[in-house]
Amino acid sequence: MHNKDVSKQFLDNRHQLVTVSSELKVVESDNVIFYLDKGSDITEFHPFFYTLTTIFDELETSHRFFCIQIEFLGKRRYIDIQTKKSIENQEVYVFIEDMTEHYKNVHQIKQVRNESIIQFNVVQELNNQLEVQRGFKNKFLANVSHEIRTPLNSIKGFLNVLKVSEVSKEQLDIINIVQDSSDTLVTILDDLLDISKIEAGRLEIKNRRFDFKSFIDVLRKTYALRAQEKRLDFDFEIGENIPNFLVGDRLRINQILINLLENALRYTHQGSIKLNISTSSRNLRRIPITFEIIDTGIGIAPENLERIFESFTQLEKRGLFGGSGLGLSIVKQLTGLMESELEVKSVEGEGSSFNFTLTLGVSHDQKSKIERDSVPLIALPDKEIKGKKKKKKRILYGEDIEVNQLLMTKLMADHGGYSLDIAKNGEWVIEYLERYPYDLLLLDLTMPVMDGFDAATVIRNHSNKQIRKIPIIALTARTTQEEKELAKEAGINAFLIKPLDQKALFETIDRLLNRYKKKKQEED
Which of 475, 460, 409 lies closest to 430 in space, CA to CA? 460
- Closer to another protein by Cβ: residue 62 or 366: 62
Instruction: Give helix then strand counts, H and E, for the chain.
Output: 17, 17
- Closer to another protein by Cβ: residue 126 or 167: 126
> What is the length of the chain?
524
User: How far is the C-alpha of 435 from the C-alpha of 465, rounded, in Å?
Assistant: 14
Give the shortest CB-57-to-another protein separation in angstroms. Answer: 9
- Closer to another protein by Cβ: residue 85 or 250: 85
Give the shortest CB-103-to-another protein separation in angstroms. Answer: 6
Give the shortest CB-110-to-another protein separation in angstroms. Answer: 5
User: How far is the C-alpha of 138 from the C-alpha of 504, rounded, in Å?
Assistant: 31
- Whether the CB-CB separation of 414 and 158 falls below 8 Å is answered with no
Q: Which residues bind another protein (CB under 8 A)?
A: 43, 46-48, 50-51, 53-54, 63-69, 78, 103, 106-107, 110-111, 114-115, 117-118, 121-122, 124-125, 128
Give the shortest CB-83-to-another protein separation in angstroms. Answer: 10
Burial of 422 (0-12, 13-18, 19+ CB in 10 A): buried
- Whether the CB-CB separation of 395 and 419 falls below 8 Å is answered with yes
Residue type for position 4: K
Task: For residue 53, give Cα distances in angstroms to 23, 87, 208, 340.
Answer: 8, 16, 87, 72
Give the shortest CB-44-to-another protein separation in angstroms. Answer: 10
- Closer to another protein by Cβ: residue 43 or 179: 43
Give the shortest CB-120-to-another protein separation in angstroms. Answer: 10
User: How far is the C-alpha of 65 from the C-alpha of 45, rounded, in Å?
Assistant: 17
Task: For residue 355, give Cα distances in angstroms to 30, 213, 229, 236, 269.
Answer: 88, 19, 25, 14, 21
Write out the DSSP string of 28-97. Answer: EE--SSS---TTSBHHHH-GGGGHHHHHHHSS--EEEEEEEEEEETTEEEEEEEEEEE-TTSSEEEEEEE
- Closer to another protein by Cβ: residue 44 or 434: 44
Give the shortest CB-137-to-another protein separation in angstroms. Answer: 17
- Closer to another protein by Cβ: residue 118 or 301: 118
- Closer to another protein by Cβ: residue 69 or 374: 69
Give the shortest CB-369-to-another protein separation in angstroms. Answer: 55
- Closer to another protein by Cβ: residue 57 or 523: 57
